[in-house]
Amino acid sequence: MKAWVQDRYGSADVLEFREIDAPVPGEHEVLVRVHAASVNAADWHLMRGDPYVARLALGLRRPKARIRGRDFAGVVTAVGGGVSRFRPGDEVFGEADGAFAEYVCAAQDVVGRRPAGLSFGQAAAIPLAGNTALMGLRDLGRLRPGMKVLVNGASGGVGTFAVQIAKAYGAEVTGVCSTRNAELVRGLGADRVIDYTREDFTQGTERYDLLLDLVGNRSLGEYRRALAPEGTLVLAGGGVFEGGSLVGPLGLIVQGQTASLFTRGRIRVLTAAPSAENLATLRELAEEGRIVPVVERSYPLAETDRALRYVEGEHPRAKVVISCPAPSAP
């Protein structure tokens, strides 16, 4: 099969599009013929091994996982002996290392059935970003109807889902984004849009019950000024921080974890983990039309390196999708 392989850390120039052996599904895994994948900020950070402290887990000298990509949508072609939820021919979506390839193996408990009415490209845009938004709002933020919610970074991959999920759960939503993305965020259902080039939400008079931060560009003290007395701050990683740093947004996250020990849980740090249950929730929301994946651009699999350069350099709105032509036999 064809796949984008990485043998060392660096820019997209280190990636090679070459023929390798297709993966073989393990006992509880499915083999999926990838029809579409999507690019997340996490993909280029992992590609560069950035922030550098992350290499303690990713691999000190070279990445342990050699094929980039997490989000996929496609058709099951084979299943392991212990798989009971899927069979060949099922159309699915989910998260697994190695999605920038013609085939990917994934554990059955991180795979869901493709939402009816969505293309493979739209379905591939959902898993990582949608799950991050869902867990940050519903699980850590304890989202309830009527809450005042602010999404900092509302026009990004996670942010576009966060605005829609918060509205679907009955919240009053404020989205923070740049001037060029204001209409997009408003069209997603935000009740109010703050243009950060003109207004600093941490200096305003509005207070929020839940603040989901996807940027990491403020101090904890500034974020907390924007919270209601019993409000909750959810730190979700700071997806747009610049590369080449030792700790990146991890410094703010560590501060948040430490501060949460003394603030009765008002500060939560999100570590998103994929699950079939969350994919089922996202599928239901998509089939009801309560969330609609926003795709800015699409690239063919052979131009995945261009897609990664675009996501790293331009901080695009919403999602960038990779389309995969009919692959060769595994």
Tens-digit pLDDT profile for residues 12-46: 888 899 999 999 999 999 999 999 999 998 887 77
* Residues 212-265: tens digit of each pLDDT: 999 988 888 899 999 999 999 999 865 444 444 434 444 445 554 555 544 555
> Whole-model pTM above 0.85?
yes
Specify burial of residue 224 (Cβ count, 10 A radius: 0-12, 13-18, 19+).
middle
Instruction: Check residues 52 and 105 and name the one with the higher pLDDT.
Output: 105
Structure tokens at 303: 């131009």
* Residues 74-89: tens digit of each pLDDT: 999 999 999 999 999 9
Helix axes 304-314, 41-48, angle to 10 degrees: 100
Instruction: Check residues 58 and 72 and name the one with the higher pLDDT.
Output: 72
pLDDT at 93 over 80: yes
Query: How confident is the model at residue 248, as a pLDDT?
Result: 46
* Residues 168-187: tens digit of each pLDDT: 999 999 999 999 999 999 99
Specify burial of residue 29 (Cβ count, 10 A radius: 0-12, 13-18, 19+).
buried
**Local structure of residue 189 (DSSP, 8 states):** T
- The torsion defined by the Cα of 49, 293, 275 and 45, in degrees rounded to 10, comes to 0
pLDDT at 290 over 80: yes
Q: What residue ranges do the domains of the chain occupy?
A: 2-126+293-323, 129-269
**Local structure of residue 267 (DSSP, 8 states):** E
Give the whole-number percent of the chain exceeding pLDDT 70: 85
**Which CATH architecture is the domain 2-126+293-323 placed in?**
Alpha-Beta Complex (3.90)
Bond before 51 cis per omega within 30 degrees: yes
User: pLDDT band for position 8 (50/70/90)?
Assistant: confident
Average pLDDT of the chain, as a whole number: 89
Domains 2-126+293-323 and 129-269 agree in fold: no
* Residues 251-285: tens digit of each pLDDT: 445 554 555 544 555 899 898 899 999 999 999 99
Query: How confident is the model at residue 55, as a pLDDT?
Result: 60
Query: How confident is the model at residue 53, as a pLDDT?
Result: 66
User: pLDDT band for position 51 (50/70/90)?
Assistant: low
Best CATH choice for the domain 129-269 from the list 3.40.109.10, 1.10.10.10, 3.40.50.1950, 3.40.50.720: 3.40.50.720
